[in-house]
Amino acid sequence: MDETGEIKATAFNAAVDLLYDRFQEGKVYYVSKGKVVLAKKAFSNLPCDYEITMDNRTEVEECIDAGSVPEVKYTFIKLRDLGAHEKDSILDVLAVVHKVNDVAEIQTKQGKQLSKRDITLVDDSGHSCQCTLWGKQAEQWNHHNNPVVAFKGLKLSDFGGEDQYSRSSVYLTLA
């Protein structure tokens, strides 16, 4: 195990259907019969140089005694400093959820229906920005009482001249 305790694992097609319900955020797992490959850094926000590709033969078992596993490490930035980062940067943010919009359904250029939810984040620098959640994270968001949140792996984008975060899969902790 490396010092970060983080590695990306990817599954496609039937393997997703087989493995999806076996994982829960915040838990640790033993994964066997997956393929360890060099990380595709363009598609990963983790510092690990490797990732795991899982298929129908991959076995997953929860690690009950995970006491020595490192915790998630954050490198928080202030919202006032967004302009100092390039578009498509992957960043960590600690902020208060100021506003939560309803879930909206959009159609992608490929004709696929996708759920999205915009939330407004504010931090102690006094700045705010919009964060877009996609898919299940957008649908399952039910935190409407201004929680403090820690987002890991948000992608900085520019929409209509405004800085905003967007990510289909982020690690989220309610503080």
8 A C-beta contact, residue 72 and residue 5: yes
Q: How confident is the model at residue 168 (pLDDT cuts 50, 70, 90)?
A: very low
Q: Which pLDDT does position 4 carry in this prediction? A: 62
In the numeric block, which tokens belong to residue 126?
Answer: 């006094």
Please state the rounded mean pLDDT for residues 54-58: 94
pLDDT at 140 over 80: yes
**Across the chain, what does the average pLDDT equal?**
82
From residue 115, alpha-carbon distances to 23, 27, 95, 133, 171 in Å are 22, 26, 23, 8, 18
* DSSP-derived 3-state class of residue 132: strand
pLDDT of 164 strictly over 60: no
pLDDT at 163 over 60: no
Query: 13-40 burial, b if ≥16 CB within 10 A, otherwise e?
Result: eebeebbeeeeeeeeeeebeebeeeebe
Higher-confidence residue of 160 and 4: namely 4
What's the confidence (pLDDT) of residue 2? Answer: 55
Q: What is the mean pLDDT of residues 94-113?
A: 91
| pLDDT score of 175 more than 70 | no
